[in-house]
Amino acid sequence: MAQSKTTGIKCAACREKQTPRSEKDLKILNDRLNRIIGQLNGIQRMLNENRYCGDVIMQLGAAERALQSLGYMILSEHFRTCVAENVATGNTAILDEAIELVRKLK
């Protein structure tokens, strides 16, 4: 059973990357996520201020695209590291998981 580094809680479903993300890559991902969180907070303010529906929908679309872009960044990293490492060791079942992840991101 793996133990989460951030919470310390043991979890049978928790998995960690074999190759950790670099500090630079982690910063890029966290910066993007923080911008998305800012967008979502802005949308919440718009709703609370009773802003025009069309403006809210435009911001929702922008946040959705930003989230999808972040997902593609992580998916790309997944293929370059996790999938490549598993295939190199003979675990081709990881390819089925990767295909399913592409479907879920769409």
The pLDDT assigned to 18 comes to 85
The pLDDT assigned to 1 comes to 47
Q: What confidence tens digit (pLDDT) does each residue in 19-69 have?
A: 899 999 999 999 999 999 999 999 999 999 999 999 999 999 999 999 999
Q: Sorting pLDDT into bands at 50, 70 and 90, what band is 16?
A: confident
Within-domain flag for 5: no
Gap between the Cα atoms of 85 and 34, Å rounded: 29
What CATH number has the domain bearing residue 55?
A: 1.20.58.1000
The tally of domains found in the chain comes to 1
Residue 6 has pLDDT above 90, yes or no: no
Q: What confidence tens digit (pLDDT) does each residue in 82-101 have?
A: 999 999 999 999 999 999 99
The residues pairing with 10 across neighbouring beta strands, listed in sequence order, are 3
| DSSP string computed for 64-89 | HHHHHHHHHHHHHHHIIIIIHHHHHT
Please give the mean pLDDT across all residues of the chain.
Answer: 90
Within-domain flag for 66: yes
* Structural domain range at position 64: 22-105
The pLDDT assigned to 29 comes to 97
Within-domain flag for 98: yes
Within-domain flag for 10: no
Using alpha carbons only, give the angle 97, 103, 106 rounded to the nearest 5 degrees.
Answer: 140
pTM of the entire predicted model: 0.81
Within-domain flag for 97: yes
Within-domain flag for 8: no
Within-domain flag for 56: yes
Residue 15 has pLDDT above 70, yes or no: yes
